[in-house]
Structure 1
Amino acid sequence: MMANLFSSFDPCANFNIPFNWMSSMISFFFIPSLFWMMPNRMNFIIQKSLISLHMEFKILTKKNNTLMFISLFFFILINNFMGLFPYIFTSSSHLIFTLTFALPLWLTFMIFGWLNNTYHMFAHLMPQGTPPILMPFMVCIETISNIIRPGTLAIRLSANMIAGHLLMTLLGNTGSLVNFLIFIVIMIQCLLIILESAVAMIQSYVFAILSTLYSSEV
């Protein structure tokens, strides 16, 4: 019996050691082998996904170095899916996990942009066609929006993962019900799992897409 609804997100396990964070390493076992003599369907799906993501990220970044963003997409996607399995810790629901990716990426883009494209970064603070009376306000707004970017990236991913798991936890703790009501709850749980699978894919895609957009600005 859980002490509260957020007990499933507690990273501490036995002996007060956070062994649950090791669930993020389980994702490496799902990486398909590229050395099969006869490629299977999983390799075919992964290869098609890699080509599609590369073509899309290439358009956004206007460069061919999309390996970092594709790797980021698949790593977050697998960790989101791992949280849907029973008794597996959802690492992507914690800000310490999401900020680990969002903050270094944002800092790298900002440092690179201000050191190499300083004039472009200053020009980016003032959208084209802004009236002179609104220019000071637009500089403040654009500066604040740039500063909060890593926070919005991290919170968006963790909040969406927490919300779906809380809904499934609430439905799982309904207690003793009539057989007919239990059947309805099970059907709702199945629909929620399908919804959470879609959320896991969408949030990892949004995280990777926004990261490529931020890199294209510098």
Structure 2
Amino acid sequence: MADRYTTCAGPAGVDSCRPTPATRGGAEPRVHPRRIDDVSQVFKILVTGPFAAGKTSMIQSVSQTQVISTDVMTSGEESDVKSSTTVAMDFGTYQLMEDDVRLLLFGTPGQARFRFMTNILKGDVDVVAFVIDAEAFETHAAAGVELRALLRDLRVPAVIAVNRCDDPELARRLARSLGALSGEAAVPCQLIDPDSGREVVVEILLTLLASMESTNIEVA
């Protein structure tokens, strides 16, 4: 039987795996922990969303290792929104030492011209962390199209991080308007605050646990 994964070099020596063409049409588990050493279960989290939503801020606020970033100075109208932007990816990690669980956080660029990087990074993802700025109303329609396409394509659970929002009900309404399912968590947050970023991580961990339990029940 062909190997389920092909291996390619990942950031900081971490291997990333993608489904081989032969397995893409088959039944895939929603969550598939991998081991990159003798102790840690490793999960890949795709942190994505519109331009300037707070994706880099989230990874920087929670990563326990130095963040690998590909920021460059913005130009034109984008410079009125933020001074720098991600052009390839951000990469950080979060580890629960007591549970030997490691999250690999892959952040995507927000601009449409760099969307091909999302297609590269989304392989073998366990959870989508979709970041949306509650106050950037002009981005919401396109964000909904992107989120629905991702969920159809990846068939994995999502956590909606509603940045610049303190109201749980508003966060839920916005997430549903984007196309998130009723069972998917919507987290109001202020991603410049590490404590708020960790609340998103907690929801990611709970989502992973629920998805793994669901997979185990289906297998049984």
How high is the TM-score relative to the length of structure 1?
0.26
Structure with a larger share of its residues in helix = 1
Structure with a larger share of its residues in strand = 2
How high is the TM-score relative to the length of structure 2?
0.26
* Larger CA Rg, structure 1 vs 2: 1
Q: Which has the higher contact order (CA 8 A, sep 6+)?
A: 1
